[in-house]
Amino acid sequence: MVNGSRDETTDEREWETPPISFVNGANVTAADGDALREMDWPACWECAADLLDWNRPFDAVLDDDGVTRWFPGGRLNASYNCLDRHVRDGRGDEAAVTWEGKLGESRTYTYRQLLDEVNSFAAALRDLGVGEDDVVTLYMPMVPELPIAMLACARIGAPHSVVFAGFSADALATRLTGADSEYLITCDGYYRRGTALYLKGKADNACLSVGQEVEQIVVNRLADGDSVGDHHSYEKLVRDHAGAEVAPVERGSDDLLFLIYTSGTTGKPTLVGHTTGGYLAHVTWTSRAVFDLDPEDTHWCSADVGWITGHSYAVYGPLACGATTILYEGTPDHPEKNRLWEVIERNEVDVFYTAPTSVRSFMKWGSKYPAQHDLSSLRLLGTVGEPIDETAWHWYREHVGGGECPIVDTWWQTETGGVVLSTLPGADRMRPGAVGRELPGIEAAVVDEMGKRVAIGESGRLVLTQPWPGMARSLCTETDWGARRTGTVDGEWQYDTGDNAIRDADGYFHLLGRADDVLNVSGRRLSTAEIESAIVGADGVSEAAVVGGTDTVTGSKVHAFVSPESNVAGDEALRKRVRSAVESAIGPIAVPETVTFTPSLPKTRSGKVVRRYLKAITNGEDLGDTSALRNPEVVGELESLLDE
């Protein structure tokens, strides 16, 4: 349990209100918000499902016969909902995806063009033998072919599994095997800060180590022409299937739309599955209600499509709403620190959604960069991934949002599929530093170790107490109950989110970070166990523990404590081996910032490593009582080591 409490009284100065112009035109006004919150929670979600086109209507909102299924009996296709219906409604010439490349180039696909290319690629996939329910892995950077491939898979009922392009060959191999995927779509390479990075070499190595035949399709980004060795060229496949029309496959509401890996508390990444009907209804409704998206809006979610945020709010949500989504391949400070603001100005972006870690970087670079651009098209700002402190919140509103834009601080996870805690921007007041209440249709609570509710203002574990449509399918299959942290407390269903939080007297949640062994590094989720098992794999390492350090700009960073084998020196050479072991097992994002050598790690009498002390040492916090440790002296030694 985390210590902490929050005063029950509400200070009026802590509140911020959205401008009246926004409130009047919002998709969900205060009156709508009240009406939704008074509704039965399943009725709320029926409104969400009504935003979709169903081939066969659902028989009920929820079937909870031991296994939770949303919209049972309903049949639909996600690619139809994201593309065909907008073209059918006469909006084929409107922009669907605008891609901003790393070299400054830009490409826009209208809904009709996107549908055409998705059709061609879907036909090509079929010809290659991809059938319904075959998993297709997509290992691609932020290029338009990534959402095109996702939608082509969705069109033929083949679940996709997108693997972040920054992951290593080993990490890709684990994910190919875990998802039992025989098809891989990748890219020859991409640019980062003007430098070409080769992806295909990593993909080839992963395929070699998987030991099974993997059919590869390669998008040419760096090289011209169709020369992709023994593999299929994406460009050639699309050209050869130009003009093809593939009828969207009707999927059951509970059929898989995609698989995605996330970091859990074990050494292996956790595979999460999202459904076609429940997930799509959830992200479509939240795109309308939380991001206030309309078809005429341009939405920019800056997250990489390799993570859940990009799936839900750069691809499926905005496209299902018929809006324009921006796909940005670059980094925020290349070639200049004004790059994002220039993209917003040029594309007249309405809604900008990013991570607090980015806001803190913008703040550090200074307000002169956004000030060089006309950002008046922005109506709404959003954040996700970690708590945003009040200073960053106010800076974001003032210097990006012109002092006017409402900000939605949205809390959710890979497992929830879409936003579950947030203010409704047209209905609720904002409290900087707090995420807001549950969205209509969501029930959440803060509980103690026994699952009992704690008092208002007291900290505890954040749980969701009713199912929601975007919930990962694996959360509700009986076999997964233990592992997936769902269960019943006094007859009440609870999903343990793994986060600590405080609920204040107004019902707003204040997030306090992860309670389990999951690190949040620059808004990306990593598991301590996964990094530790990579480190222990390095030659000469006996034991390792990693913790997150709080950095004012990047948020958490990885810090490793390593105990070398006897006779092995804890020197620069070992430090290098440790870092490269992590880089090759996971990727550069997980490489420890510091590696501290120690003869032993702090342990309980039963031999369990206690990371809490290592975390306190790293972050200069009070250690508290160490007497329960088997080797309390090691903590003191480590403290003095870090002081050096």
Distance CA 206, CA 436 (A): 43
Q: Using the minimum distance from each CB to ligand PRX, give the nearer residue, 414 or 618.
A: 414
Q: How far is the CB of 45 from ligand PRX (least distance, A)?
A: 19
**Any idea which residue has 């501290």 for tokens?**
596
319 lies in the site for ligand PRX, by CB under 6 A: no
Per-residue binding string, ligand PRX, 427-466, x by CB under 6 A, is --------x-------------------------------
Query: Smallest distance from the beta carbon of 313 to ligand PRX, in angstroms?
Result: 9
Comparison of 393 and 411: residue with beta carbon closer to ligand PRX: 411
Interacting residue with ligand PRX among 28, 146, 185, 511 (CB under 6 A): 511
Total residues at the site for ligand PRX (CB under 6 A)? 21
As a whole number of angstroms, the distance between CA 351 and CA 331 comes to: 19
> Can you tell me the distance from the alpha carbon of 159 to that of 133, in angstroms, rounded to the nearest whole number?
6
Q: How far is CA 201 from CA 169, 197, 205, 228, 549, in A?
A: 8, 10, 6, 11, 33
State how far the alpha carbon of 282 is from the alpha carbons of 161, 185, 416, in Å.
19, 27, 9
Of 387, 440, 467, 469, the one binding ligand PRX (CB under 6 A) is: 387
Per rule CB under 6 A, is residue 411 in the interface with ligand PRX? Answer: yes
Question: Would you state the structure tokens that stand for residue 137, as one six-digit string?
Answer: 């892995």
Rounded to the nearest whole angstrom, what is the least distance from the CB of residue 352 to ligand PRX in the complex?
Answer: 15
Q: Which of residues 356-385 bind ligand PRX (CB under 6 A)?
A: 384-385
148 vs 419, which CB is nearer to ligand PRX?
419
User: Which residue is listed with tokens 């324009």?
Assistant: 324
Give φ, ψ of 232 to 5 degrees.
-85, 145
For ligand PRX, the binding residue among 514, 557, 575, 579 (CB under 6 A) is 514
- Contact 170/209 with Cβ under 8 angstroms? yes
Stretch that binds ligand PRX, among 141-149, 340-348, 496-504, 580-588 (CB under 6 A): 496-504
Among 447, 450, 449, 469, CA closest to 459: 447
Which residues partner with 183 through β-bridges? Answer: 136, 215
What is the footprint of ligand PRX within residues 227-256 (CB under 6 A)? none
Are the CB atoms for 185 and 149 separated by under 8 Å? Answer: yes
Under the binding rule (CB under 6 A), the answer on residue 474 touching ligand PRX is no
Report DSSP state, residue 314.
Answer: I
Task: Considering the complex, state which of residue 520 and residue 618 has its C-beta at the smaller distance from ligand PRX.
Answer: 520
Stretch that binds ligand PRX, among 239-247, 291-299, 409-417, 587-595 (CB under 6 A): 409-417
- Return the structure tokens found at 387: 């708590």
**What's the closest the beta carbon of residue 74 comes to ligand PRX, in angstroms?**
26
Q: Which of residues 274-303 bind ligand PRX (CB under 6 A)?
A: none
Tell me the closest approach of the beta carbon of residue 148 to ligand PRX, in angstroms.
23
**164 vs 369, beta carbon nearer ligand PRX:** 164
* Least spacing, CB of residue 338 vs ligand PRX, in Å: 26
Cβ nearer to ligand PRX, comparing 401 with 417? 417
Minimum distance from residue 189 beta carbon to ligand PRX (Å) = 26
Q: Is 102 in the site for ligand PRX (CB under 6 A)?
A: no
Does residue 472 touch ligand PRX according to CB under 6 A? no
Residues 6+ apart with CB under 8 A from 303: 309, 310, 313, 314, 353, 354, 355, 384, 523
Phi, psi for residue 125 in degrees, rounded to 5? -60, -45
d(CA 545, CA 529): 8
Cβ 320 to ligand PRX shortest distance, Å: 18
Judged by CB under 6 A, the residue of 110, 354, 494, 520 near ligand PRX is: 520
> Residue 514 Cβ, how far from ligand PRX at the closest point, in Å?
5
Residue 499 in contact with ligand PRX, rule: CB under 6 A: yes
Nearest approach in angstroms of CB 391 to ligand PRX is 16
Smallest distance from ligand PRX to CB 127, Å: 35
Min CB(412)–ligand PRX separation in Å: 5
Sign of the CA dihedral with 422 first, then 35, 72, and 462 last: positive
**Within 13 Å and on the Cβ side, how many CA atoms surround 431?**
18
Nearer to ligand PRX, 387 or 587 (CB): 387
The nearest distance, CB 241 to ligand PRX, in angstroms, is: 35
Burial class (CB in 10 A: 0-12, 13-18, 19+), 203: buried
Nearer to ligand PRX, 249 or 308 (CB): 308
Answer for which of 98, 137, 233, 410 binds ligand PRX (CB under 6 A) is 410
By CB under 6 A, residue 412 contacts ligand PRX: yes
Tokens, residue 302: 């800056």
CB 344 within 8 A of CB 300: yes
Output 92 or 523, the one with its CB closest to ligand PRX: 523
> From the list 503, 525, 575, 577, which residue makes contact with ligand PRX (rule: CB under 6 A)?
525
Buried b vs exposed e over 353-370: b needs ≥16 C-beta within 10 Å?
A: bbbbbbbbbbbeeeeebb
Tell me which residue has tokens 């092995």.
568
Q: Are 200 and 186 in contact (CB under 8 A)?
A: yes
Q: Is residue 308 at the binding interface for ligand PRX, with CB under 6 A as the rule?
A: yes
The whole-angstrom separation of Cα 294 and Cα 536 is 50
CB 411, CB 421: distance < 8 Å: yes
Which tokens go with 511? 């997030």
Q: What is the 3-state secondary structure (H, E, C) of 217-284?
A: EEECCCCCCCCCCCCEEHHHHHHHCCCCCCCCCCEECCCEEEEEEECCCCCCCEEEEEECHHHHHHHH
- Choices 92-100, 149-157, 344-352, 408-416; region in contact with ligand PRX by CB under 6 A: 408-416
Does 309 interact with ligand PRX (rule: CB under 6 A)?
yes
Q: Return the number of the residue (84 or 499) whose C-beta is nearest ligand PRX.
A: 499
For ligand PRX, which is the closer residue by CB, 446 or 638? Answer: 446
Smallest gap from Cβ 632 to ligand PRX, in A, equals 30
Residue whose token pair is 């980015």: 358
Name the minimum Å distance from CB 508 to ligand PRX.
12
Shortest Å, Cβ 275 to ligand PRX: 17
Asked whether position 258 contacts ligand PRX by CB under 6 A, the answer is: no
Amino acid at 259: L
Rounded Cα distance between 148 and 109, Å, is 10
Q: DSSP 3-state assignment of 323? A: coil
Residue 413 touching ligand PRX (CB under 6 A): yes
| Residue ranges that bind ligand PRX, judged by CB under 6 A | 262, 308-309, 384-387, 409-414, 435, 497-499, 511, 514, 520, 525
